[in-house]
Amino acid sequence: MSLHNAKVSFEDLDIGGRTIRIAIPGRPNVCWVTSLATAIGPMAREEIDREMDVPESLAAKVLSRIFETFGRWLRIDEAVFVEHRLLSTSLYTHDMLAHLVACRESLMRHYPGKAIVLRSLNAHDHAAYIDRRCWPFRVVWIIDDIDADWATRRDARRDVARLETSNLDSCAYDGAIPPDKLARCLELYRNLYLGTYSGLNPDYDYGYLRRLMEAGDLEILTLEDKGRVEAFCALHSRGDTLSVPMVGYNQSRPQSDGLYRSAMTRAAQAAQTRGMRLNLSAGAPHFKRHRGAKPYMEYVMIIEGHLPAWRRFGYSVIGRVLRLMAPELLRSAS
């Protein structure tokens, strides 16, 4: 098992001399990172409630419900996700992305009844690939130069000072982690992302996270009090980019907001030490802007030319409307 709220199987394909991992969602599937219908439907409506005011939010939620119904009717969730580790952001090196796009015919032949989905293309890094096949999905925040854009910011310097005086131990786990510490990180993540935010976020299985760590797809940085994890961030990297797909902290502590800032500071420091860019994913625009991040539209590329016309129609119509809405989405999210 990988997610408790989505059934997903994996297949490794040898395409063009490279091994490509494919995520194949089944049913049930109520997680936004594995279901396009969930992402444009209930997950979008939850975001609308958080980010927009009435009456604009009412119109947006009606449109979301129409999209979801239309999409489910035209089976938009009959899709496979390429090089997707079920994390909020799928990172690709430029070489890997070019290879995947070049091999799309092979992927289409291998999955004749399913759309081929490439996630997390953004307007900053992948402008050459953004075309009519792409749906604008959300706004993500990227720090290009940690030294110039983050380290010089007043809020970032305050975060560093807070971390240094927190009396918490900074620990790092790469490849392996004690079982009790991983279980604690998962508990903190679930309390925040599923308990506080949304049950549509990925509900990871303990064993799946352990396998991601063993495969080198995930590492965990913790803040600990006498050996007990009080906050953590998980890191995922590809090429020159580092992302933060998971965060958690003990919300019962009196200074829980400081724990979040300290966990994110550790992620920024990791990117600085490694000379990498930092993709902070979506949400918390005020926090991220004040630490040097800039907003960019993120897209999913949907390859559907091998599907029947009635199914291609669904992806095309939804994509066209979302592209018309993209400027307003960027404005409201940033």
| Structure confidence by residue, pLDDT tens digits, 144-178 | 999 999 999 999 999 999 999 988 999 999 999 99
Arithmetic mean of pLDDT, 121-143: 93
Find residue 236's DSSP bridge partners: 243
Is the Cβ–Cβ distance between 77 and 19 less than 8 Å?
no
Arithmetic mean of pLDDT, 184-191: 98
CB atoms within 10 A of CB 187: 14
- pLDDT exceeds 80 at position 53: no
Q: In sequence order, which ranges of the chain are alpha helices (DSSP H)?
A: 36-40, 42-51, 56-73, 94-102, 104-110, 154-164, 179-189, 206-214, 256-274, 285-289, 309-333
pLDDT tier at 222 (50, 70, 90 boundaries)? very high
pLDDT at 60: 82
- pLDDT exceeds 80 at position 50: no
Angle between helix axes 179-189 and 206-214 (nearest 10 degrees) is 120
- pLDDT per position as a tens digit, 239-295: 999 999 999 999 988 766 699 999 999 999 999 999 999 999 998 889 999 999 999
Annotation: CATH topology of 143-294: Aminopeptidase (3.40.630)
| Residue matched to tokens 């939010």 | 57
Arithmetic mean of pLDDT, 227-249: 96
Q: Mean pLDDT across the chain, nearest whole number?
A: 93
pLDDT at 329: 76
| Residue matched to tokens 């090196």 | 93
pLDDT at 61: 85
pLDDT at 334: 65
Arithmetic mean of pLDDT, 10-16: 93
The pTM of the full predicted model, rounded to 2 decimals, is: 0.93
Burial class (CB in 10 A: 0-12, 13-18, 19+), 279: buried
Arithmetic mean of pLDDT, 35-59: 84
pLDDT at 253: 84
- pLDDT exceeds 80 at position 332: no
Residue ranges covered by each domain of the chain: 6-138+297-333, 143-294
Tokens coding 289: 């802007």
pLDDT at 256: 64
pLDDT at 327: 84
